[in-house]
Structure 1
Amino acid sequence: MDPPPRPVRRRFAVSIRPAALWPYLLIAPTVLGAAFLLVYPLVRNAVMSFQHFGLAELIRGGAGWVGFANYRTVLEDPEFWTVVRRTFWWTGLNVALIMLIGTLVSLMLVRLGRWMRLAVMSALVLAWATPVIAATTIFQWLFQSRFGVVNWLLVKLGFDSYRDYTWFAHGGATFAILVTLVLWQSVPFAALTLYGGLTAIPAELYESARIDGAGAWQTFRLVTFPMLRPLFALVTSLEVIWCFKCFAQIWVISAGGPNGATTTLPVYAFQIAQSLHKYDLGSAVSTLTVLILLGVLVFNLRRMFRQEGAL
């Protein structure tokens, strides 16, 4: 009996046409730029968190490895956990208010006339496009103790106790001002994004809801929100990132004060690294900040995909 024929191995020649490389060549500068500006600092920061890196090492080099000692120092510090709780409170409050106000503004835009809608959208875009430092400076002027517009207006309205009131000397007042500033900068993005989603919902669904006798709240709960659930989840995730890593506004207005009332994790990491010159501990705090934010986003995205699979 003859042995079975041996399988014939075919050699496939891989030919890459020059035209197929063009998409990769076009995106290569963006990928390389993002890797240099984002990936390298993140990796360098993570490496520094495992070293003894102070002012002397910054000048002469030669940082030694200390393993997880920096993380143990940070995690055993009660102040770190106080800042973590404050950061979650700061993020949760801002995101909840942004999504609430942004949703209401987007619903208002749908019901406005053409020219009024154009005016409101133009104002939102201008507020959104204002540079962060410029907007922060404006809020400093508004709440200035002697010549601020807010104190002047409150005194004119009869609240004489606000004459020369120092807003930035009180932790609660400073926190409220920063929340207002972040809302002013963030609501336009949420409102315009949700308005774009609202315009894509078929009008027949709203007509059916009205015929069935649904009110405004029932229409939103049964028609609008289910149709825009993925968009709501996406905007919420982006706002969580924006608020959690918020630094410039807090540092310019209060530098985390007074008495640490506005110190969040990014500000805390900067204070340790720059004020105390403990760059290793600052790197550990910032690495933990990234990990905490990543965990929050993964939890939110998993919940979003789970809800999408249940539909």
Structure 2
Amino acid sequence: MPAVREQTAPRPPLGTGPPRRPTGPGPRRPSKSTGRGIWPYVLIAPAVLGTLYLLVYPLVRAVVISLQDFGLRQLILGGARFVGFKNYGTLLGDDRFWEVVRRTFLFMAINVVLIMVLSTLVALMVERLGRFGRTAVLSALVLTWAMPVIAATTVFQWLFHSEFGIVNAVLTDLGFESFHRYPWFAHGPAAFAIVVVLVVWQSVPFAAITLYSALTTVPTELYESARLDGASGPRIFRSITFPMVRPIFMLVFSLEVIWTFKAFVQIWVMTNGGPGDATTILPVYAVQTALSSQRYDLGSAASMVTVVLMSGVLVFYFRQMFRQEDELA
């Protein structure tokens, strides 16, 4: 039989063959990850722009005005000229300014100490209450915290009214005849004490609720072990409770320092800084200087001093926080 030769397909010549896909860069389809990366910034853009306009721009504007000769004439006609740090020199050379600074720190210290002590006691009390008592106390704290500042200040004005106030009526009925129609807001120490009570009453709910939330994170096993070892209540708080909640305690402490340092609405609505300067602190002094004396430059300088002092509190808090993180690490 003749041999059958196997036929094979002819090979293509060198340099030819099936077309290959191009390996170079070409048009790409838009990836979904690119759109996902842009959308978060688009969504937060309105909040960022609003913050810049409502917070950063007024701050920068106040800094510029504090470096200018800016009075009522410049406010209406413009043309304010820069005078450098002359306004700060005038401010720092005013004896009334330093008296206001001392009163501001005294006001802050009294308020912060009372707030932290009372809020800690309230938080410890709430932790030991039953379900019904805890709910009632927390509800009362939330309602107190939610009351508008103007409304609470007006209520305190009614309470201490010289003729129709409930406080004078109760004290008179108890036999203190000297409080009959007693003008609380006409005496400096009395007005100062009322403002302190108001600020403390408004600030304790937030601090107490925050500290109570921190207390709930402390393991109960530590308390049981300490009681088995015979530790007393103060020793347990000093050795277990406070070290566990110290970061939150320092945070609340810093926030209360800032909030009481810049307390303005309560004082302005209740006393306008009076009688005399008995309740005038730095924010009130800045507004008085700007509005009453038409010295917007000195008022802005006083505001900048207030911002610098409050920034010092923030620096202190962050240093403490970073130090605690280094100790834990």
Answer yes or no: same fold by TM over 0.5: yes
Between stretches 140-149 and 76-85, larger displacement belongs to 76-85
How do 1:203-282 residues align onto structure 2 when only pairs under 5 Å count? 203-282=220-299
* Distance in 2, Cα, partners of 1:189 & 1:53: 39
* Distance in 2, Cα, partners of 1:185 & 1:273: 28
Which residue of the other structure, out of 82, 94, 101, is the alignment partner of 1:65? 82
How do 1:8-157 residues align onto structure 2 when only pairs under 5 Å count? 17-157=34-174
Which residue of structure 2 aligns with residue 174 of structure 1?
191
* Distance in 2, Cα, partners of 1:152 & 1:230: 44
Q: Deviations over 1:194-230 (max 9, x none)?
A: 0011111111111111111111100100011000010
* Distance in 1, Cα, partners of 2:212 & 2:267: 29
* Distance in 2, Cα, partners of 1:239 & 1:304: 16
* Distance in 1, Cα, partners of 2:99 & 2:48: 38
Please give the secondary structure, in 2, of the residue aligned with 1:63.
coil
Please give the secondary structure, in 1, of the residue aligned with 2:53.
helix
CA RMSD of superposed structures (Å)? 1.3
Which residue of structure 1 aligns with residue 306 of structure 2?
289
Q: Deviations over 1:61-90 (max 9, x none)?
A: 111110111010001111111111111111
* Distance in 2, Cα, partners of 1:219 & 1:26: 48
Q: Deviations over 1:158-181 (max 9, x none)?
A: 111100000001110001000000
* Distance in 2, Cα, partners of 1:217 & 1:113: 22
Deviation of residue 267 (structure 1)? 0.2
Query: Which of structures 1 and 2 has the bigger CA Rg?
Result: 2
1:172 alignment partner AA: P
2:249 alignment partner AA: F
* Distance in 2, Cα, partners of 1:286 & 1:110: 41
Which residue of structure 2 aligns with residue 4 of structure 1?
none
Structure 2 unaligned residues grouped into runs of 5+: 1-27
* Distance in 1, Cα, partners of 2:107 & 2:41: 41
* Distance in 2, Cα, partners of 1:84 & 1:310: 35
1:223 alignment partner AA: I
* Distance in 1, Cα, partners of 2:97 & 2:317: 24
1:244 alignment partner AA: F
* Distance in 2, Cα, partners of 1:166 & 1:297: 39
* Distance in 1, Cα, partners of 2:259 & 2:305: 17
* Distance in 1, Cα, partners of 2:229 & 2:322: 31
Deviation of residue 303 (structure 1)? 2.9
Deviation of residue 307 (structure 1)? 4.2
1:142 alignment partner AA: L
* Distance in 1, Cα, partners of 2:34 & 2:325: 40
* Distance in 2, Cα, partners of 1:308 & 1:162: 54
* 2:252 is the alignment partner of 1:197: no
* Distance in 2, Cα, partners of 1:212 & 1:308: 30
* Distance in 2, Cα, partners of 1:233 & 1:157: 41
* Distance in 2, Cα, partners of 1:24 & 1:212: 55
Identity %: 63
Deviation of residue 142 (structure 1)? 0.2
Structure 1 unaligned residues grouped into runs of 5+: 1-12
TM-score normalised over the length of structure 2: 0.88
Q: Report if aligned partners of 2:251, 2:317 keep a CA contact under 8 Å in 1.
A: no
Deviation of residue 27 (structure 1)? 1.4
How many residues are paired up?
Answer: 298
